[in-house]
Structure 1
Amino acid sequence: MSKKENNYVLSKDEDLKLFEDSLSEDEETVEVNGFEVLVSQNQQLKNAFIDVLLNLIETLCQSTTELSLEDLNKEESTLFDLTRAGLEVGWLRQKWDVAYLKKEKQRVTGARIRELEEQVRKRKLSLSDLESDLKNEKAAALVAKSRTGFRDIV
């Protein structure tokens, strides 16, 4: 495979034109982004890009409970690679952003819920202690109020 001399990366319109020209010609190789690629490999590349896109879309269709931040970070890397390859995936990037924000909100909300549950647990224990103290004080007050009988003295 030979690389173009000036290392110039073609614009997407130029890439598309090259790609379309390569499909209409019956040559064994075509030039894509400065590289000679076999026509059969070109089709394999298209299929690979479609597979990657479909997998990305499938991942983004999952609920935020099924998605992990690791999954989303991996897909962000995939989006970057697809963009570098010349695919316009801005619309998919927006979907990724929405999924990421939902996941982050879910993470923050989950942490807040756990914090509040811990506060409730501690306050219940504190309330239980207060109720026990109140019961003991009432019992002591009742004993102090009770009349001393003859037998208690003698």
Structure 2
Amino acid sequence: MSKKENNDVPSKDEDLKLFEDSLSEDEETVEVNGFEVLVSQNQQLKNAFMDILLDIIETLCKSTTKLSLEDLNQAESTLFDLTRAGLNVGWLRQKWDVAYLKKEKQRVTGARIIELEEQVRKRKLTLSDLESDLKNEKAAALAAKSRIGFSHVV
């Protein structure tokens, strides 16, 4: 169920749009905990910003196995929008960078593991073929060494 359906609370996109619309007015701003806030903004708008920030933080706190590239792309897009809207979220962008690098390392490592597993599989098949050839050669060598009996000649 979306936030809009739940008690008519605006969605994250609507929160961001409300924020951007409010900044387009030429009003005096004040800095609150590193954020530029219009004097006329009400508590609901401030809560919307905090919800957006908390959503991003929650996303970035996921383990890399549960964090998808789609999650990271959405968080990056939202961070860009917040920055464009005037919020100072460089500290959160740094956290995004760390999460992205970890996810990318996991992706690269996973691909390398798959590649190595394929090489091991192929080499095991080659080894199996070599062992079979060796067994056949030993059997042929043993047969060639055996004495030919009189009954085989006549």
| TM-score, normalised via structure 2 length | 0.76
Give the C-alpha shift of residue 9 in structure 1: 7.0
Deviates more, 1:84-93 or 1:70-79: 84-93
User: What is the DSSP-based 3-state SS (H/G/I as helix, E as strand, rest coil) of the residue aligned with 2:99?
Assistant: helix
Per-residue deviation, 1:15: 2.1
- C-alpha displacement at 1:43, in angstroms? 2.0
2:78 corresponds to 1:78: yes
Q: Counterparts of 2:88 and 2:61 in 1: how far apart (Å)?
A: 19
Residues 110 and 19 (structure 1 numbering): CA distance in 2 closer, same or farther, change over 3 Å?
closer
| Alignment size in residue pairs | 128
Q: Given the alignment, which residue of 14, 21, 29 partners 1:15?
A: 29
Tell me which amino acid in the other structure corresponds to 2:131: E
List aligned pairs for 1:28-107, cutoff 5 A. 30=40, 42-107=42-107
Structure 2 stretches lacking a partner, 5+ long: 1-20
- Distance in 2, matches of 1:71 and 1:152, equals 79
Give structure 1 stretches of 5+ with no counterpart. 23-29, 31-38
Deviation at 1:19, TM superposition (A): 4.6
2:131 maps to what in 1? Answer: 131
Amino acid at match of 1:15: T
Calculate percent identity across the aligned residue pairs.
77
SS in structure 2 at match of 1:16 = strand
Residues 50 and 69 of structure 1: CA distance in aligned 2, closer, same or farther (over 3 Å): same
TM-score, scaled relative to structure 1: 0.76
Q: RMSD over aligned Cα, in angstroms? A: 2.2
Q: Which amino acid aligns with 1:80?
A: F
